[in-house]
Structure 1
Amino acid sequence: MSLYALSVLMAVIWAVVSGGFSLHNLLFGFVLSLLTLSILRSQFEGAGRPGRTRRILSLILLFLVELAKSAWKVAHLVLRPNLEIKPGIFAYPLQVKTDFEIALLANLITLTPGTLSVDVSEDRSTLYVHGIDCGDVEAARRDIAEGFEKKIMEAFAR
């Protein structure tokens, strides 16, 4: 898919998300996506390789599914009569290595309700994550490793 075609698609998604289909909003979304894609172009080198687009779409689909699941979980937690949660911060050992991959993982975690990326260690080997309910930290680590991180490594493997 060409840069311009992808920018048009992203502009339409922008309009849907922002709730405004005015010409100015669509143009803003188009220009924003062009700038973003041109900045990130180096990460998509070799995007013509068979399956890369499919793997990136798989990552997007995983994010949307996790977004819905975690929103439901957070709503269920806060609407219960007894607020029995154990918030906390846990260390997540990173397998992704590049700054782009670490930033993408941290942002996907932060955009998912109930979790927030707090910091990355100086050696870029550990991501610190705040969870609304850290009753089972190992399960949270496993979910990140088998979900977002695995999909990021598949999609952006060189």
Structure 2
Amino acid sequence: MIRQFLMNLLLSFIWVALTGSMYYSNFVFGFMLGFFILWIMNRNETDQRYFYRVPKIISFIFYFLLEMIKANLQVAYDVITPKYFFKPGVVRYPLNAKTEFEINLLSTFISLTPGTLILDISEDNKTIYIHVMYLNDPDEFVRNLKTGVERRLLEILR
């Protein structure tokens, strides 16, 4: 998988060198073109993990950016208006993530979202305690986190 990623980067840089324009959009186009070329060349190989993970990683990045923008807008609206809309609370979040790396990455992404803060991780690594600034329904918050960030992150890592 690392070999395919490095080959894809090499093909992207070759594309940039051949076109002679070092722009971000040109590099991204070269990366997509290299991804397509590698996919065609490796269709019959048994190890196809790279070709499944790259679209999932891109999808996760866009999903997380959208969630972060929504949370930022919610916090900004609450700061600008004279009335406070927040309802703080602490949520006990049961984990599907098993390894320390998965738990650490998940808690980092949760903390990056405005309005949430990781308070503690249980000793058995099965529960995270999260402080939420806008907590209307704890069950809905847990459900959204499970089906959103955690599910997508575990699909990439496993």
TM-score class, shorter: 0.5 to 0.7
Shift of 1:86: 1.6
Partner of 1:26: none
SS of residue matched to 1:77 = helix
CA distance 1:4–1:86, shift in 2 (3 Å): same
> What per-residue deviation string (whole Å, max 9, x for no partner) do you get for residues 122-154 of structure 1?
101101111112221112111111110010111
TM-score normalised by L of structure 2:
0.68
- Structure 1: stretches of 5+ with no match in the other structure: 10-45
Paired residue type of 1:54:
P
Q: In the alignment, what sits opposite 2:98?
A: 97
Q: Which residue of 1 aligns with 2:39?
A: none
CA–CA separation in structure 2 for the residues paired with 1:75 and 1:109: 18
Higher RCO, 1 vs 2 (CA within 8 Å, ≥6 residues apart): 1
Q: Aligned with 1:2: secondary structure?
A: helix
Alignment correspondent of 2:6: 2
Bigger Rg, which one: 2
Deviation at 1:47, TM superposition (A): 8.1
Which residue number in structure 2 is paired with residue 125 of structure 1? 126
Write out per-residue CA displacement over residues 51-80 of structure 1, whole angstroms, 9 at most, x where no aligned residue: 111112221111111111110111122222
TM-score (norm 1): 0.68
After TM superposition, give the deviation of residue 116 of structure 1 in Å. Answer: 1.0
Report what 1:33 is aligned to.
none
Aligned residue pair count: 120
